[in-house]
Each structure stands twice: as structure tokens, then as C-alpha cells.
Amino acid sequence: MATAAAAQGAARDTDRDTTARQGAFDAAVAADERIEPRDWMPDAYRATLVRQIAQHAHSEIIGMQPEANWISRAPSLRRKAILMAKVQDEAGHGLYLYSAAETLGVSRDELLDKLHSGRQKYSSIFNYPTLTWADVGAIGWLVDGAAITNQVPLCRCSYGPYARAMVRICKEESFHQRQGYELLLALSRGTPEQHAMAQDAVDRWWWPSLMMFGPPDDASQHSAQSMAWKIKRHSNDELRQRFVDICVPQAESLGLTLPDPDLKWNEERGHYDFGPIDWTEFWEVLKGNGPCNEQRLDRRRRAHDEGAWVREAAAAYAAKHSETGATRA
């Protein structure tokens, strides 16, 4: 039994340990070293990463839905193969990301449960419907393009498992992005109906894609801390500007226009100026009031619930047969 004095001593040791660990952590982050799963890390750093990686994983699996909506109607076998491969990659990205999150001491089941009960979010972009085939191209070009702009800096994120997952994901994403662009190009150069379909899709996906970078810097609650921890490397507005600057010439070579009358080159800034984003729409979609929020979550829950008996069967089978294995060993 510890005496009061010993207990006080232990508390002081713990404080001293924590201070030393915090110091080592800060030094590692400052030196651009990677934090690994067994390293000490501040609780808030761990919690932020769990939230961010889980949301990222959820976005991959919810993001399968708007595109899977067109697998059965893809207009050529080549396009169908590309789309199926893409949706499969997204499931794979979800798997990498849940694994990365699990290194922080949470389980995939726990995270899925939070997604299904609405306690964790996914990217607001996937709450928009895919109304025509051209939407598949617009998602590839704009949505994946915005995702890549956001994610490439994450390859240098301070948390090792997340950074390594992002290296693999970014390679595949940039492939999808080029395919989306090429899909739109084929439509833009196709029949007048196909061109109109492409233009309509870009008109509908442009603003939601800009919203993918998150709220403006002065309204972004997690940004400062994430930048200090080197989870995040650039501000929302910085990345958004970078994305606009990349897209404008691409739209020109596609032969399509972007739905923003205020969009113009600013010689002085060396950037494109662009019009105001409808933040009311952004917050409404984020709150669950977008066009497909309910449908997306409902579909996900249904797949999970209807698959319960399959997971139970796999577990029961594994249990039966691992007993045999244990007896043999």
C-alpha cells in the first residue's frame, strides 16, 4: 500500500514523464519526423486523427454510392470496366483508412457504428445526386481533383500510418481523376446532346467541389491546431485557391465553362479571383439537409444490417474451425 508521500511522488513522476513525453513529441513534429502507433502522443492529437481518418474512410465508402448508381447503365463496356475498377478502389481506400484509424486504438466496427448513427460525418459532396452519365466524369475530374489537392499534402502528415495510406490512395486517385477528365472530354467533343450533358454536370458539381475544402479559414475550428501538429499543411482557402487555379485552364481545354461570372485572372495576385460560395448551402448539407443525406446513410445502414447474418456466419464458421485448429496444435 502506497503512503501519501509515495503517491505524491508518483504523481510528480507522472507529471514529469508527461512533460518529457510532450517535449519529445513536439520535437519530433518540429523536426518533421513521423509519429508512429507506439509513440506517445497527446490525447487531443489522437482524437483529432481518429476523427479525421474515420471521416475520410467513411467518405470513401459513402462515396461509392453516387458512382455505383451508374455501373448498371454505363454506355460502353470500356467505361463500365473503368467505373467498376474505380468503385472497387474506393472500397480498398476505405479499408486502408480504417486500418490506419485502428492503429490509434479504435475498431472499424466502432467507427462504422458512429457513421451509421450519424455521430461521425463523411464528405458533404456525396450528398449530391448523380443525375446523368456525365456526372461520373464530373466527379472524377472535379471531386477527385479536389480530393487530391487536399490529400497530396497529407502524404507528409505527421502521423506515419495516415501519411503512408495517403501515398497509396493518391496514386489511385490521380488515375481516377484523369479518367474522369477523359470521360468529359469524350462527351464535350461528342454530339451536341453529349456536350450539353457534360456542361450541365460541370455546372452542378463546380460549387459543391469548391466546398470540399471546408469552411473559410476564419470559420474553420480545427485548422490552427491541425496545422501546428502538421496533420494539415495548408489552410482551406489556400488549397481552394490552388484548385481553382488548376481547374480553369483544364475547363478551357475541355471546351466547357465554369458556372461563375466572377471568375477572372488577377494579374496582381497571380491567381484567379472567383465568386462567393453559398455557405448556407454548405452548412445545410453538412447538417444533414442536402439532397441525398438520408438516402446515402439509409443505404449504408441497410447494407450493414442485411449483411449481419453473413458476418455472423463467417464468425461462427471461424470459431468452429479455429477450435479444431487449436486441438490439432
Partner 1 sequence: MTATVPATAALALGDDALVLSHRLGQWAGHAPVLEEEVALANIALDLLGQARVLLSIAGDEDELAYLREERAFRNLQLVEQPNGDFAHTIARQLYFSVYQHLLYGRLAEGGGPFAPLAAKAVKEVAYHRDHAEQWTLRLGDGTDVSHERMQRACTALWRYTGEMFQPVPGLDADWAALETAWLERVGDVLRRATLTVPEGPRSGAWTAGAGRQGLHTEPFGRMLAEMQHLHRSHPGASW
The DSSP symbol for 42 reads -
Q: Return the residue matching grid coordinates 472530354.
A: 185
Smallest separation, CB 135 to partner 1 (Å) = 12
Per CB under 8 A, 55 contacts partner 1: no
Give yes or no for a contact between 58 and 124, defined as CB atoms under 8 angstroms apart.
no
* Size of the residue set binding partner 1 (CB under 8 A): 51
Q: Is 186 in the site for partner 1 (CB under 8 A)?
A: yes
d(CA 282, CA 260): 17
Q: Residue 249 or 291: which CB sits closer to partner 1? A: 291
CA 176 to CA 151: how far, in whole Å? 14
Strand (E) or helix (H) holding 206: helix 192-211
Select 3 or 191, whichever has its Cβ closest to partner 1: 191
Least gap, CB of 299 to partner 1 (angstroms): 7
Cβ-contact 32, 230 below 8 angstroms: yes
Q: Which of 15, 279, 316, 322 binds partner 1 (CB under 8 A)?
A: 316
Q: Which of 94, 122, 102, 112 is nearest to 50 (CA)?
A: 102
Given a contact cutoff of 8 angstroms between Cβ atoms, the answer to whether 202 and 256 are in contact is yes
Binders in 135-174 for partner 1, by CB under 8 A: none
What is the C-alpha to C-alpha distance for residues 317 and 240, in angstroms, rounded to an integer? 49
Smaller CB distance to partner 1: residue 192 or 276? 192
Phi, psi of 272 (to 5 degrees): -80, 135
**Residue 98 binds partner 1 (CB under 8 A):** yes
Binding test (CB under 8 A) with partner 1, winner from 4, 31, 43, 193? 193
Task: State yes or no: residue 76 binds partner 1 (CB under 8 A).
Answer: yes
CB half-sphere exposure, 145, CA atoms < 13 A: 29
Grid cell digits, residue 217? 479559414
- Cβ nearer to partner 1, comparing 34 with 304: 304
| Binding of partner 1 by 87 (CB under 8 A) | yes
Q: Which of 310, 324, 326, 329 binds partner 1 (CB under 8 A)?
A: 310
* Nearer Cβ to partner 1 (186/246): 186
- Under rule CB under 8 A, residue 79 binds partner 1: yes
CA pair distance 19, 13, nearest whole angstrom: 10
Residue 94 contacts partner 1 per CB under 8 A:
yes
103-109 contacts, C-beta under 8 A, 24 or more apart:
103/37, 103/161, 104/37, 104/46, 104/49, 104/50, 104/53, 105/46, 106/50, 106/54
* Nearer to partner 1 among residue 28 and residue 169 (C-beta): 169
Among 47, 156, 311, 325, which residue sits at the site for partner 1 (rule: CB under 8 A)?
311
Binding mask 246-265 for partner 1 (x = CB under 8 A): --------------------
Identity of the residue, 61 or 166, whose beta carbon is nearer to partner 1 in the bound complex: 61
Nearer to partner 1, 16 or 320 (CB): 320
Contact residues toward partner 1 (CB under 8 A) are 61, 64-65, 68, 71-81, 84-85, 87-88, 91-92, 94-95, 98, 133, 183, 186-187, 190-191, 193-194, 299-300, 302-304, 306-318, 320
